[in-house]
Structure 1
């Protein structure tokens, strides 16, 4: 696999990976995102933590415990936090300009929720011409409850797979996060 210059970590916030509100596969997700972040840092790739600012009363309301990023952020010119209020990490944020300014051409997307923020961010990255890699075991979501008269409940793993499928063959879905390789950003004067 051709190396990736940036890792986009979508909404891996305390409310979604710990306690009663954690997604069903939270431990797996944290394990995979921890590994991806460590390897991206080690290689000199850009690490972008997207942090959702939920509405008042939401589990991810700004400046609450649930809003906090799960992974510590390193003070480095190649690691940034971008706050967002929409599913799409590009909408109303500096993500697009940050990637363009650093010469990023290929990125990996991980985090949550598969069918919302992960998919929306990956879709916009594709539309902007980026090569997008989506490691199957490094994104997650919740089960969809049954809807009487419409459908039975849908397990989270199925929801995540459908989110990948809906991105069509433009996104490179790979089975394992461990198979993502990173490379340093193009030379810049830091």
Structure 2
């Protein structure tokens, strides 16, 4: 709460004028993070070549883009890592608080469904189960990489980039696309 108050330039008491309780604050934080993730997915985040490079270099939640110097804190270069840390905190809180667990499950479901819908637009011939499996694999890779961001990277990013690229090429093989009319 102290960090939220500091960032928002409000006192803790003032924050509670806008939010009924801590769960409402968590819900808003999660909503904003999910919105940003969906914006990334529907922007250029579906670029598998870029995703392979980002994962290889452990760039979390963003493409390799420059942000203006005087942009809002929500757009800072550190914000994707802060968002990831916040989501880890929400996940931990969800193990203790059923309200937060439901917030987390709803957000995860929204992200999963958006990713599946995005893939369905390109791979419309894949069944719902096949799309779900591919999204699940991508989620595990991205979330695992985000978690490992805090550890020592034991593999050379250049080699990882090649492997991720091969994996994505197999997972989303252009030969799987139906012929164009």
Give TM-score scaled by structure 1 length.
0.25
Higher helix proportion, which one? 2
Give TM-score scaled by structure 2 length.
0.26
Larger radius of gyration between Structure 1 and Structure 2: 2
